[in-house]
């Protein structure tokens, strides 16, 4: 099994990254591979929810 860890924080090396790094270590200790992806520098596009409009 492999787990994708998504870091959406705007700070690449911030507290969220530290917490997710600890999560990755615990997963590895239990024989689970993981990969962390940082998306905090990516723009978030607006979207329309199902049956509704963006307001």
Predicted pLDDT at 52: 60
pLDDT at 55: 55
- Series of mean pLDDT values for 10-residue runs along the chain (55 residues): 94 96 98 95 70 58
Q: Is residue 11 part of a domain?
A: yes
Number of domains in the chain: 1
- The predicted pLDDT at position 43 comes to 79
pLDDT of residue 24: 98
Q: What is the pLDDT of residue 28?
A: 98
**CA gap 50, 22 in Å, rounded:** 36
In a domain, 52, yes or no: no
Residue 2's pLDDT is 96
Euclidean distance between CA atoms 55 and 41, whole angstroms: 24
In which domain, by residue range, is 6 found? 2-38
For residue 44, tell me if it sits in a domain: no
């Amino acid at each position: 099994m492999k787990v994708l860890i998504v870091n959406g924080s705007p700070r690449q090396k911030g507290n969220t990254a530290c917490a997710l790094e600890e999560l990755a270590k615990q997963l590895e200790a239990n024989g689970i591979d993981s990969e962390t992806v940082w998306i905090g520098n990516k723009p978030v596009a607006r979207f329309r929810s199902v049956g509704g409009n963006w307001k």
